[in-house]
A = this chain, B = another copy of it.
Amino acid sequence: MALFWVRGYHATSLKDLEAALNMRPGSIYAAFRSKEGLYRAALDLYAGRMQAELRDLALAAPAPLAALQAHLRAIAGQSCGTQRPSSACMLVKALLDHPQEGALRDLVLTHLDGVEQILAEAFARAGEMGELPRGSDPARLARRMQTYVFGLKIQAQRGLAPEAMQRLCDDLAAELGALVPA
């Protein structure tokens, strides 16, 4: 997963994967039907983790909106540390790597929709708890939030100065905060 995440689909060769998995071609093709099959498995793993993380963060929190704000601010920290294979979002990379229609693109779109759905639920809960004005559209807010994350993770990939990155994340998090009724 890390290899595909960093290098992307096309730039990752089976020789690289053999080394990373410590498996020989025969075993790889017995386990996953093809290179694409392995990639799909990696995407599923990534999306599963991301969705679980978001669920824990925003659906279990007492103040969902505040949790989402914290999530935005945390992106700044993830860009410096080398703990993560890449600062960018693997789903976005996959989306750009597969611009034409196909089963793989559909898989990516499904995962992106799943994430958006979780965000929408979080915003719905935020509304119920009075963190949002009445009549707010959770789906609309979810798309906006996801757009922020997409943009921020690309900026992170760019290698912006840490303090600039932090300010940027704070700015966008503040916009979410501006939604709170007075």
Contact = CB atoms under 8 A, between A and B. Distances in A.
Contacts of A8: 8, 10, 96-97, 99
A175 interface: yes
11 contacts: A7-B99, A8-B96, A88-B96, A88-B99, A92-B96, A92-B154, A95-B157, A144-B172, A146-B155, A147-B151, A147-B172
Interface stretch (A34-42, A43-51, A55-63, A160-168): A160-168
Interface in A130-182: 140, 143-144, 146-152, 154-155, 157-160, 164, 167-168, 171-172, 175, 178
A112 interface: yes
A103 to B, nearest CB: 15
Nearest to A105: B159
A6 interface: yes
Given A11-B10, A99-B88, A109-B158, A168 B143 contact: yes
Contact of A96 (B146, B155, B157): B157
Nearest to A93: B96
Chain B CB within 10 A, most for which of A92, A147, A157, A178: A147
Contact of A144 (B7, B112, B171): B171
A20 to B, nearest CB: 16
Contacts of A155: 143, 146-147, 150
